[in-house]
Chains A and B, each alone.
Chain A
Amino acid sequence: MVDQHHLRQFLIYVFVLLIPCFAVWTIASGPLAIPAIGFVNSILTQWFPDTVNALYASGAKAVLMTEFGEKDGNLIPLASAEYRLGFEVNTRIISYSLPFYTTLHFATQKTEYLSSYLWGLLILYPLIVFGLLCLCLRELMVNLGQTFLTQPGVFVPNANVIGILYQFCVLIVPTLAPAILWLWQSRQSPLLRSALAKS
């Protein structure tokens, strides 16, 4: 009965905190993504110097600029193009792990909140960086096709690997990572202690 009280209390706090946390994140998601975009920009421009020009922030989106132009749906060299080909990447589809984790963390009865929360953010942020890298690889693969996949002298992951990594980073990691982190950090909470006692 007392355990049910903890579960009920947790659920009430989750539903109270969920919308405010997501609302704050919606406003802050642009600035929050800037370090990740900067880091992925460094990786991509060094990894694919002949393909990627830059990745920069535009609100909550990242814009991935290539070293190509486009005419009538075909890739053409930049020198003969009127504009540089670029693609928008929505950073929110990977960074919503942050408000979800925040909600779970602060909805749970604990003795200490702040330092474990900061540790949680430190763990989640590299996953966002990796997710953004996978999103960009997928954009390059889908939009540039063989021009991207068969660059001489450059290691490019297999198309299937990029596809699976993309699906994994978009469909699973943003919700699973906060959930696992919460389970681990809350294992001593009244909500989980008795449930995990068996293990």
Chain B
Amino acid sequence: MGRFVTIFVVVLLTLFTLEMLVPVQEHVIVPFTAMLAQLSAALILPFDSSVVAYGKVLQFVDSGFAVSIEAGCNGVEATIVLIAAIVAYPASWRARLVAILLGFVAIQLMNLLRIISLFYLGNWNTDVFTWIHLYLWPALIMLDVLIVFVVYLRYLSGGQATPETVRG
């Protein structure tokens, strides 16, 4: 357990500090965030003609409400937490890499849902938008990370149920 915690904290702090570096922000985080914005727009535009997209901004033509997808809204921090947990837990590197890849996809799918839902919520009510944006969605994204990690642990353990779990 001590080994897990140590590796987890070291990897977490290292990746988080790396993410904060200006060159990483410029060359990785900002382009990735812009790509997410474009992907969100590509998912919305075929179904909603009242929406326009430019750069990392999504906007309703009629109401003028717009959201700009910024660093911090890109699920990168959640991915960093997941990577730290997966790297810290003993397993083969193949299993780790597959889990990181699938976890990244799961987090980003959830994040796309988050961006699109917030865009529509904001057009409806800005107070609800703020509340869900700042408090509820971050918790849901971390819940996504937790579920991915728990499923990964269960995969590693081979789905063996203990006698207690069978009774439960």
Contact = CB atoms under 8 A, between A and B. Distances in A.
Contacts of A123: none
A132 interface: no
Interface in B14-54: 16-17, 20
5 contacts: A7-B151, A163-B20, A172-B16, A172-B77, A183-B146
A198 B89 CA distance: 10
Contacts of B154: 3, 7, 194-195
A138 to B, nearest CB: 13
B135 interface: yes
The SS class assigned to the B binding surface is helix
A30 interface: no
A172 B142 CA distance: 9
B161 A175 contact: no
Given A172-B12, A192-B153, A199-B90, 17 more contacts: A7-B150, A11-B147, A14-B143, A22-B135, A22-B136, A96-B134, A96-B135, A99-B139, A163-B20, A174-B138, A176-B81, A182-B146, A190-B168, A193-B162, A195-B153, A195-B154, A199-B89
Given A2-B161, A14-B143, A96-B139, A199 B1 contact: yes
Interface of B: 1, 4, 12, 16-17, 20, 72, 77-78, 80-81, 89-90, 131, 134-136, 138-143, 145-147, 150-151, 153-154, 156-157, 159-162, 164-166, 168
A175 B157 contact: no
B153 A190 contact: no
Given A11-B147, A179-B146, A100 B139 contact: yes
A97 B151 CA distance: 23
Contact of A195 (B20, B77, B131, B157): B157
Contacts of A179: 81, 142, 145-146
Contact of B165 (A3, A14, A18, A93): A3
Contacts of A28: none
A39 interface: no
Contacts of B164: 190, 193
Interface in A167-199: 167-168, 171-172, 174-176, 178-179, 182-183, 190-199
